[in-house]
Amino acid sequence: MIKVRIPTPLRTLTKGRGEVESAGSTIDDLIGRLNQAYPGIKDRLCDEQGELRRFVNVYVNEEDIRFLKGKDTALKSGDDVSIVPAIAGGC
């Protein structure tokens, strides 16, 4: 099982839970499974092309997946995945 940390704005989809467990062989697979358990979560994480939104940071064991293999990053049981919205702004 993989532990997934859910940020506050997405907890309306996870019945208020800040941490959920899921299976998944890659980030892509994990997001698909999360979406079955918590419908709508995929749309919040990915754009229409299915790519991860740039204002969402995803980490596997504290490594930003942009510096791993993105959505193809492999997962194994015991991994920690954190979903953390970016903090940004501008005029």
Partner 1 sequence: MPPILRIPNSIVGAMIAHARELDPYECCGLLAGTPGTVSRHYRITNTVAQDARAVAVFDEADVKPLAALSESTRAEVAYFMEPKEMLAAFKDMRARELDLTVIYHSHTHSPAYPSMTDVGLAYYPEAAYLIISLEDKTTPDLRAFWIKDRRVTPAAIETI
Q: For binding to Zn ion (CB under 5 A), which residues are involved?
A: 89
DSSP state, 27? Answer: H
Place of tokens 């790519």: 51
Choices 23-31, 32-40, 68-76, 83-91; region in contact with partner 1 by CB under 8 A: 83-91
Contact segment (CB under 8 A) with partner 1 among 27-35, 70-78, 80-88 equals 80-88
Q: Which of 64, 68, 70, 79 binds partner 1 (CB under 8 A)?
A: 64
What are the contacts of 60-66 at 24+ separation with CB within 8 A?
A: 60/27, 65/27
Nearest CA among 32, 23, 26, 29 for reference residue 2: 23
Query: Pick from partner 1, Zn ion, none: which does 47 bind, CB < 5 to 8 A by kind?
Result: partner 1
